[in-house]
Amino acid sequence: MRALTVIPGEPHSGSLTEVPEPLPGEGSLLVQTIAIGICGTDIEIVEGRYGSAPQGRKHLILGHESIGRVLDAPAGSGFAADDLVVGVVRRPDPVPCSYCAAGEWDMCRNGLYTERGIKGLDGYGAERFRLEPAFAVKVDDELGDLGVLIEPTSVVAKAWGHVDWIGRRSSAWSPESVLITGAGPIGLLAALMGRQRGLAVHIFDRVRSGPKPQLAQDLGASYHGGDLSAVAHLSPDIIIECTGATAVMADVMTRTAPSGIVCLAGVSSGGQPINLDLGDVNRRMVLENRVVFGSVNGNRAHYEAGAAALARADRTWLSRLITRLVPLAKWQQALTREPDDVKVIIEF
């Protein structure tokens, strides 16, 4: 079968190659791949800046945002042929740490977790893949191929879940507004969940044109394009930071209303130090009970919550998040960023 492979650490090593069929030991569900979603992590891996191959070999099958149809499932697995499924990305570490032992592998403390298509395990970017039933998420037929958005939505569902947990430190927590920085797939999906919670949603992004402003407006959110001065008048209860840009982070850390919560969900590359008056940040955080926290990945409960959020969303709006559909043979195009990209999908 054909698979999208890469040699981690080696730039320009991505290729579409013949690989053996997945082994039964990789999971009892055999799945026919429909599509994979591409995100910044995939681009980093292809550029040789991230990722690791399974033990004992050089290449890694790429792809962690999946959607496929079950070809074969054992009786009693909870799955049947023709079911639409998405694979969970992370697997618990083998020790396991206390979090992985509790099924919260997204919180793994020893770093020995593995990730399909990213860290030590083959991904879903092959014509067929195998899944353990415990790491397969059933997709509603009504959502169909848009289920490829479940993985990025799981990341957002975790971020929102943790905002809720932190908010409950006060019985009076009753947020009314959220600012999302970055209108990529994660930002727009975070905005979707903000709207589903009945919040006033503001979205900030550098761009002023392309599909993002309209996607925000059609969600009932306010779009603020350009530089940070566009959001200088806002003091929302919650901020979900999805850009990873240092200047944006420095700004949003103290931009909330008092007792506000900032979730950092964007990953920075580092190496770009900026001048920051940390004493001033301290005063604003301490004297007004602000929280800034980081959030990554998601566990099974977050995939389920993400799938539920997508099931409640407008299908037309969701399909507009997918700005490019690239056939497998032209996979390179999918891994090259274009200015109006939101979510790019490779079709198998």
Binding mask 3-42 for Zn ion (x = CB under 5 A): ----------------------------------------
Please give the DSSP secondary-structure letter assigned to residue 119. B
Decide: is 252 part of the binding site for Zn ion (CB under 5 A): no
For Zn ion, the binding residue among 45, 62, 88, 97 (CB under 5 A) is: 97
Judge contact between 156 and 190, C-beta under 8 A: yes
Of the pair 74, 94, the CB lying nearest Zn ion is at 94
DSSP string, 140-166: -TTTGGGGGGHHHHHHHHHHHHHHHHH
The identity of residue 60, as a single letter, is L
Decide: is 146 part of the binding site for Zn ion (CB under 5 A): no
Of the pair 100, 157, the CB lying nearest Zn ion is at 100
Residues 107, 109, 115, 121: what is their CA dihedral angle, to the nearest 10 degrees? -160
Torsion region of 11: left, alpha or beta (phi above 0 gives left; psi -120 to 50 gives alpha): beta
Q: How far is the CB of 29 from Zn ion (least distance, A)?
A: 24
Please give the DSSP secondary-structure letter assigned to residue 211. H
Q: Closest by alpha carbon to 1, among 16, 20, 25, 15?
A: 20
Q: How far is the CB of 97 from Zn ion (least distance, A)?
A: 3
* Total residues binding Zn ion (CB under 5 A): 4
Of the pair 102, 232, the CB lying nearest Zn ion is at 102
Of the pair 97, 245, the CB lying nearest Zn ion is at 97
Of the pair 97, 131, the CB lying nearest Zn ion is at 97
Decide: is 61 part of the binding site for Zn ion (CB under 5 A): no
Binding mask 189-228 for Zn ion (x = CB under 5 A): ----------------------------------------
Q: In whole angstroms, give the CA distance from residue 159 to residue 167.
A: 12
Q: How far is the CB of 90 from Zn ion (least distance, A)?
A: 9
R_g (Cα) of the chain, nearest Å:
20
Decide: is 100 part of the binding site for Zn ion (CB under 5 A): yes
For Zn ion, the binding residue among 42, 65, 93, 145 (CB under 5 A) is: 93
Please give the DSSP secondary-structure letter assigned to residue 330. G
Decide: is 108 part of the binding site for Zn ion (CB under 5 A): yes
Q: How far is the CB of 112 from Zn ion (least distance, A)?
A: 6
Count other C-beta atoms under 10 Å from residue 15's C-beta: 13
Of the pair 97, 345, the CB lying nearest Zn ion is at 97
Tokens of 23: 């082994």
Judge contact between 262 and 178, C-beta under 8 A: no
The residues of the shown chain that bind Zn ion, judged by CB under 5 A, are 93, 97, 100, 108
